[in-house]
């Protein structure tokens, strides 16, 4: 295992009942990489991402995070999840808490951070995404784009080593996609390691360093973004790109 490999996925399989969703997936994520995962719907992209922090428990195979096999029953997954930020398609902000509480809850309760310091840091992060004035609002009072930016800040507040994005712009109105992508671009520019399941081909092409193309539960192509878009090898990928790029 190379030194700078943050996540290593080995022979990962996942079945839901008779449905075999992931078939022998092998890959690794290096520090500082921005990996876009693309593919037709139902190809297993989201399931693959959710296996990386064990929201989905693999049927067989291993996921190593910072050298530790998190699929091992003896591993305390809660400890590792603190270092793996996750952003969901449906935002999933805690509806019963204000924006500020959403962000500070985990640092205060889990990291035992001083509440005052946690609030200060939360406000700083909110300011960076342009939402400092929404600190006392409830999620129900925010637009989709605002919710997703808060969700990103909530994950960042735990100072994760990697951020997982599960179709972060798919539930947004078109005019709000840009503001969320901008936050993600900034994050990438700062060197955050990111794994992004996305349908935003422009993001995959311009921001990611590597693109993983999945179809039928398998990784069909896994190459640097520029190469993959300029010269796709796999037939399924060619077909997929011709469909999504000609829209």
Partner 1 sequence: MEFLEKMVTLFTKYNSFFSAGVANTIILALFTVLLGTVLGTLLAIMKLGKFAPTRWLANVYIEFIRGTPLMIQVMFLFYGLPMVGITFPSLPFISNSDRFMAGICAMSINSGAYVAEIIRSGIQAVDKGQTEAARSLGFKSGQTMRMVVLPQAIKNILPALGNEFVTVIKESSIVSVIGIADLMYQTNSVISTTYRSLAALAVAAIIYFIMTFVTSRLIAFAERKMANGTR
First to last CA, the chain: 41
3-state secondary structure of 79: helix
| 138 touches partner 1 (CB under 8 A) | yes
Binding track, positions 200-229, relative to partner 1; x by CB under 8 A: ------------------------------
Of residues 162 and 214, the one with the C-beta less far from partner 1: 162
Minimum distance of partner 1 from residue 193's CB (angstroms) = 16
Residue selected from 53, 104, 169, 198 as contacting partner 1 according to rule CB under 8 A: 53
Question: How many other C-beta atoms lie within 10 A of the C-beta of residue 208?
Answer: 24
Radius of gyration over every alpha carbon of the chain, rounded to an integer in angstroms: 18
Binding track, positions 148-187, relative to partner 1; x by CB under 8 A: ---x--xx--x-----------------------------
Of residues 89 and 209, the one with the C-beta less far from partner 1: 89
Specify burial of residue 6 (Cβ count, 10 A radius: 0-12, 13-18, 19+). Answer: buried
Dihedral sign computed on CA atoms, order 91, 148, 178, 217:
negative
Residue selected from 95, 112, 231, 246 as contacting partner 1 according to rule CB under 8 A: 95
Of residues 150 and 176, the one with the C-beta less far from partner 1: 150
Question: How many other C-beta atoms lie within 10 A of the C-beta of residue 160?
Answer: 18
Minimum distance of partner 1 from residue 39's CB (angstroms) = 22
| 78 touches partner 1 (CB under 8 A) | yes
Specify burial of residue 199 (Cβ count, 10 A radius: 0-12, 13-18, 19+). Answer: middle
| 109 touches partner 1 (CB under 8 A) | yes
Residue selected from 19, 140, 174, 246 as contacting partner 1 according to rule CB under 8 A: 140
Q: Where are the alpha helices (DSSP H) in the chain?
A: 45-52, 77-81, 99-109, 115-128, 144-156, 174-189, 201-206, 225-230, 235-245
In the complex, the residues that contact partner 1 under the rule CB under 8 A are 53, 55, 78-79, 81-82, 84-86, 88, 90-96, 105-106, 109-110, 138, 140, 151, 154-155, 158
């Amino acid at each position: 295992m190379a030194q700078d490999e943050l996540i290593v996925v080995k022979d990962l399989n996942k079945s839901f009942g008779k449905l075999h969703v992931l078939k022998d997936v092998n890959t690794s994520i290096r520090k500082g990489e921005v990996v876009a995962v693309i593919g037709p719907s139902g190809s297993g992209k989201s399931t693959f991402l959710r296996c990386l922090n064990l929201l989905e428990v693999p049927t067989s195979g291993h996921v190593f995070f910072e050298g530790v096999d998190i699929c091992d029953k003896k591993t305390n997954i809660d400890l590792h999840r603190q270092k793996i930020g996750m952003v969901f398609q449906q935002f999933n902000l805690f509806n019963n808490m204000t924006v500020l509480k959403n962000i500070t809850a985990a640092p205060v309760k889990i990291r035992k951070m001083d509440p005052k310091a946690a609030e200060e840091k939360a406000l700083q992060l909110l300011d960076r995404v342009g939402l400092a004035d929404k600190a006392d609002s409830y999620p129900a009072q925010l637009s989709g784009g605002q919710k997703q930016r808060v969700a990103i800040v909530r994950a960042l507040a735990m100072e994760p080593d990697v951020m997982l994005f599960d179709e972060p712009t798919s539930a947004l109105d078109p005019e709000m996609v840009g503001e969320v992508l901008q936050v993600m671009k900034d994050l990438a520019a700062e060197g955050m390691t990111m794994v992004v399941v996305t349908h935003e081909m422009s993001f995959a092409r311009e921001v990611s360093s590597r693109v993983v193309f999945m179809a039928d539960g398998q990784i069909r192509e896994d190459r640097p973004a520029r190469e993959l878009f300029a010269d796709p090898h796999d037939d399924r990928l060619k077909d997929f790109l011709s469909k999504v790029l000609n829209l």
